Amino acid sequence: MQETVIPAAGAPYPTLLYVLIPLLPFLGFLINGLLNRRLSGTVAGAIGSLMVLGSFAISVFLFLNFQYQYTVTLFDWITVGSLQIPFSYQIDQLSLIMLLLVTGVGFLIHVYSIGYMHHDENVGKFFSFLNLFVFSMLVLVLGANFVILFIGWEGVGLCSYLLIGFWNKN
């Protein structure tokens, strides 16, 4: 299998396509988080679900059109002496299958949660945390180096804590 390191401008598809996969759930996190009290539970659930569904659709497109393994470098992140750690995504067979799994199951969890959480007063906050969890999982799956993987791992841990402690009154 051929590996190609590609700067973001030379990727097989536009860079925005790769960035949208984790960015859509992050936008769902921001929208549901900022408009928490103003949105009804159904609207908050629909926003969260549609963002993850969009990521799933892009993942399916990339999976069906996969040709070779490549790394998309978005920008140089940490540079200390000769040590350079870019902010980059690794796209290969394993990451594409994990993208399908995370976004597909994440979408189903979002849809189920719309009905399950309909009675709760903080449903927007719940969907905000759920979208942040999916975003962190996607960063974990796409990370091309251990630093990005670690950031995703810590984000998943934080979101697990937030979701487990969501009903802190019980």
pLDDT tens by residue, 42-53:
888 899 999 999
Does the structure show a pLDDT above 50 at 3?
A: no
Task: Give the pLDDT of residue 12.
Answer: 64
Query: The pTM is what?
Result: 0.87
Q: Check pLDDT > 80 for residue 120.
A: no
3-state SS of the chain is CCEEEEEHHHCCCCHHHHHHHHHHHHHHHHHHHHCCCCCCHHHHHHHHHHHHHHHHHHHHHHHHCCCCEEEEEEEEEEEECCEEEEEEEEECHHHHHHHHHHHHHHHHHHHHHHHHCCCCCCHHHHHHHHHHHHHHHHHHHHECCHHHHHHHHHHHHHHHHHHHCCCCCC
The mean pLDDT of 144-161, rounded to a whole number, is: 93
